[in-house]
Structure 1
Amino acid sequence: MTSIFYSSLSKDLSSILEDADDYNVVIQVGEDQDMREFKAHSVILRARSPYFKSALSGQWITKKDDMILFNKPNITPTVFELILKYIYTGEIDLTNLLCGDILGLLTASDELLLEELVEYLQEHIIEEHKYRVQQNLILVLNEFTRYERIRNYCLEYFCENSHLFIYTKNFLSLEKDALYSLLERNDLQIKEIDTWDCLIKWGIEQIPGLNSDDISDISQLNDENINSLKDILDQFIPLIRFVEISNNDFLNKIQPYKKIIPNNIYEEFENFHREGILPKIMILPPRIGKFGSKIIKPKLMNIIVNWINRKDHYNINDPHYKFELIYRGSQDGIDNKSFKSKCNGRIASLVLVKVQDSDKIFGGYSSIGFNSLGDDYSTVYGYGLRKYNAVGNFIFSFENEDDDQNMKISRVINNSDAILDHFDSGFNFGQGSLCMIEQNLHVNNISRSYEDNISTDIVYIIEEIESFIVLLKE
């Protein structure tokens, strides 16, 4: 049996750091009045930090009287003291530390290749400093785009609150990488023509000597400015959903900027807007707006939209939808009563289910909802069982939250049994084709009311479940 005494080890190493008389490294951090020297041991620095393992190699170090001298002017003493404590003891104390210092600590930890600390700090910033991050969103996006968790949080917050940021002067200071990350998302919640207007303003701001406030249309730009604008926006133009823009806006706001749009892109969408000819080039899916699922990623929602439209791929003439979350099991309770209380009414609805001990995702779409629809559209049987006739219903599965290759769909083939409503189930597609009974999910399709593409004998335990009402976009 192995006994572990990390507490004592951490305490002893802390005393070595504080009272060392055998140190062999002096590290000078900070600049000018905010400069300080720290004493350390090369063997510990090398063992704990890949950066120091490389930096303290013989070919890089400077020595004086057998002492290794090292300078890090880009790290403040406050931050480095915390890092050194972490390196020696594995402890980090962020109590009363300002958000700016924590962001500096994140940057320094990343530079010193302290991956464990980088991951912890990202989570801490998101959980404890959300408000400060939101208030300085553009700055954080520009400076911390390389940190995946912080970037994703900032992008999601921006998209949910697009109207608060995209029309501001701060938006015009976005760095290229941050702007690209925003425009490629499907959940940006502003009109596409407004996205275009803001992109043009952003591009003009990048041209030295020009101010977007002084430029009302392209006629105020000379040929050199137009060529510059074309080069600046070249990588962003393919991210604009031109099919989401009305004919009038295309004529009045896109056509004047024809010179900055690649010919093949412009001609395709001009033919679409003038003559209704479908573009042959790849079209990005429509932005679906806010879609707050914790179960699947937005790109899978676009697949579901195609299925609702009974298409295998996006078509510009298809209806566009928005999805409003009305129920989440982890918040509202995973049981029949909770589901029924939140998800009643005759309205098109979607349910998503994440099951335990698997990455698999199940779901179903009902054009008439799940329960409490009333007697006029139902057949009433014994024991309070109601069967509802519905057209267009389907059930489906994904292998995981992000897999758009291995999905399966089963459409309803017996419309009269499309949806059942009974006291012993939260929802029930086709007598067990996809059925929630308290915390269990059944996918057996014994009734053969749906195509037999996803049926299984396994009874899954529901880990998370969400339901959305499906509305046509205005």
Structure 2
Amino acid sequence: MASNFHFRLSEDLSLILDDADDYNVIIQVGENQNTKEFRAHSVILRARSPYFKVALSTNWITKKDNMIMFNKPNITPTVFHMILKYIYTGELDLTKQSGENILGLLVASDELLLEELFKHVRDYLIEKQTKWVDKNFVLVLNAVFRLDNCKKLQDYCFKSICENPLPFFSSKIFPSLNKEILFDLLERDDLQIKEVIVWDYLIKWGIEQTSGLGNENSDRAKWNNKDYEELKKTLNQIIPLIRFTEISRADFFDKVRPYRIIIPNHIYEEIEEFYYKDALPKTTILPPRTGYSFEIGKIESNIIKPILAKLIVNWIGNDQLYRFKLIYRGSRDGISNKSFREKCKGRVASLVLIKVKDTNKVFGGYSSIGFCSLGNDFTLINSDDYHDFRFYNSSDNFIFSFENSEDTRHMKISRVVNKSQAILDIDRSGFNFGWGSLSMNNINLHANNHSNNYENNLKTDTVYTIKEIEIFNISNQ
């Protein structure tokens, strides 16, 4: 019968470690004021660690009075004590260790080729998801991204940062973050932070990373062309990761424009066209970050992609933060004038989106005053036994069309021309922009603009059949 006496073996080896009288290795670890000498046995180190098996070979070792002398300044005394405890006894207790010590143990066990120990520490960090990670973002990232077989921990670190990014960006050691790590982070779509803040900290990081700038030359007013060119070299790979379309016009003017010289020309020209011509970039566009989108947050549309919603928000303008609340969907609530008017009453800023049958076209319109039953502020232009015709005033309304749910190349927008007749409230229509400029009559959609109350960019005699329709109420965050 086979028997195991591991506990007694571990206990005896622990005594050898703590009170060795026949040791033949002295290992000095740590640096500056935090150093310590440990006594060990080469036969045990070589048996337990492939690293020491090579490092303690006759070709590498330095001897003094027949004693092997070994230095490991990059490992702290606390961490090395845990390593020796594991090597001699197979025991390890991480519950009372600081996050910094656990991280140091992870890095050291990887270096010393202690695969079992490395996997245990890595899995412990993932399982516990300890709060210290949030306080030492840069320390963690710079360490774990040097390690193989650590992708899950890397993913956890990124996820932790994306959920609460400000402590990371504002930390004093953020400027020392490795460029490749920063690239991987800014490439993510789930970073929950305003894009203008990302831009601000990217500039700060670039300044600290650029020779000749930083503390010795932090006043931008004193920079010359060479300084800007050096900063451009530092940031050239990272700038394309910025979602410039998520930055407001005011912030673009105040915070991005002063650094125009460091932004590649094709990117800057496309962003200018976006802000001043309502044209989305064609080569540099990235989707809004799902965690934090500048104006729209998350728009729950089955008709358009988020990038088109971003463009619509830009048309609305005013550099506001908006929330879009879905209040009506044809496939859910029924496509009819009655169902529309029941769901979409009131003087509330609203967006309508329409997908029509037998084509990829998407139509829509924005009304700052809503669509129907808007109250007493109206002009009654006609009345009979069946209908009241009421026009409402708005200077902000517009209608638009896209060729499909994510294509901006053939987009069209028509803003209101006759502001006193921006919206017609009539019970034989669901909604009616300017008497037929864009209107719903049950399942039919018209865009004839016979009244010329809107610009003439969408005019068509085609009567489309509505396949899907959505209404969103819009409010400031």
* Residues 290 and 156 of structure 1: CA distance in aligned 2, closer, same or farther (over 3 Å): farther
3-state DSSP class of the match of 1:180? Answer: helix
Deviation at 1:347, TM superposition (A): 6.8
* Separation in structure 1 between the aligned mates of residue 214 and residue 182 of structure 2, nearest angstrom: 19
- Aligned counterpart, 1:205: 208
Match of 2:199 among 172, 189, 196: 196
* Aligned counterparts of 1:167 and 1:22: Cα–Cα separation in 2: 52
Instruction: Show CA shifts across 1:446-472 (max 9, x none).
Output: xxxxxxxxxxxxxxxxxxxxxxxxx99
Aligned equivalent of 2:190: 187
Secondary structure, in 3 states, of the residue corresponding to 1:130? Answer: coil
Whether the aligned pair in 1 keeps the contact of 2:228 and 2:262 (CA below 8 Å) is yes
For residues 114 and 131 of structure 1, the distance between their equivalents in structure 2, rounded to whole angstroms, comes to 26
Question: Distance between the aligned counterparts of 2:275 and 2:239, measured in 1?
Answer: 17
Partners of 2:23 and 2:41 within 8 A in 1? yes
Amino acid paired to 2:223: L
Amino acid at match of 1:88: Y
Alpha-carbon distance in 2 for matches of 1:290, 1:252:
21
* Match in the other structure for 2:41: 40
Asked if structure 2 preserves the Cα contact closer than 8 Å seen for 1:196 and 1:240, the reply is: yes
Q: How does 1:39-438 map to 2 (within 5 A)?
A: 39-42=40-43, 44-64=44-64, 67-94=67-94, 96-125=96-125, 130-146=130-146, 148-166=151-169, 171-207=174-210, 208-211=212-215, 215=219, 219-281=221-283, 283-289=285-291, 308-309=302-303
Instruction: Give the AA of the match of 2:197.
Output: D
**Identity score, percent:** 51
> How far apart are 1:72 and its partner, in Å?
2.0
The C-alpha deviation readout for 1:388-428, integer Å capped at 9, x for no partner, is: xxx99xxxxxxxxxxxxxxxxxxxxxxxxxxxxxxxxxxxx
One-letter amino acid matched to 1:254: V
Show CA shifts across 1:349-394 (max 9, x none).
Answer: xxxxxxxxxxxxxxxxx9869xxxxxx99xxxxxxxxxxxxx99xx
Give the whole-Å Cα distance in 2 for the aligned partners of 1:314 and 1:2. Answer: 68
Deviation at 1:83, TM superposition (A): 0.7
Alpha-carbon shift at residue 310 of structure 1 (Å): 5.8
CA 1:167–1:116 in 2, change beyond 3 Å: closer, same or farther? same
The structure that has the greater radius of gyration is 2
Aligned in 2, Cα 1:48/1:282: closer, same or farther, shift over 3 Å? farther
Give the aligned partner of residue 363 of structure 2. none
1:180 Cα deviation after fit:
2.6
Q: Which residue of 2 aligns with 1:334?
A: none
Structure 1 spans left out of the alignment, 5+ residues? 292-303, 321-345, 349-365, 370-375, 378-390, 393-470
- Alpha-carbon distance change, 166 to 84 in structure 1, aligned in 2, over 3 angstroms: closer
Q: Does the CA-based 8 Å contact 1:110-1:118 persist in structure 2? A: yes
Distance 1:28 1:196, change over 3 A: closer
Q: Show the counterpart of 2:424.
A: none
Q: 1:20 to 1:191 in 2, by over 3 A?
A: closer
Amino acid of the structure 2 residue aligned with 1:45: L
**Structure 1 runs, 4 residues or longer, greater than 6 Å off:** 304-307, 471-474
Distance 1:50 1:473 in 2: 62
Q: CA offset at residue 75 of structure 1?
A: 2.6
Deviation track 1:266-287 (CA, whole Å, cap 9, x = no partner) reads 3333334343444332533220
The alpha-carbon distance between structure 1 residues 166 and 67, as it changes in their structure 2 partners (threshold 3 A), is: closer
Give the letter aligned to residue 258 of structure 2: P
**1:247-281 CA-partner distances (Å, limit 9, x unpaired):** 45444433332211122333333334343444332
User: Could you tell me how far apart the structure 2 residues matched to 1:120 and 1:473 are?
Assistant: 49
Secondary structure, in 3 states, of the residue corresponding to 2:131?
A: helix
Secondary structure at 1:186 match in 2: coil
TM-score by length of structure 2 reads 0.54
The answer as to whether partners of 1:347 and 1:367 remain within 8 angstroms in 2 is no
Contact (CA 8 Å) 2:45, 2:53: kept in 1 or not? yes
Once structures 1 and 2 are overlaid, which stretch shifts more, 229-238 or 162-171? 162-171
Shift of 1:186: 1.2
| Corresponding position of 1:298 | none
**Residue 60 of structure 1, CA deviation:** 1.3
**Distance in 2 separating the partners of 1:169 and 1:280:** 37
What is the alpha-carbon distance in structure 1 between the residues aligned to residue 160 and residue 201 of structure 2? 18
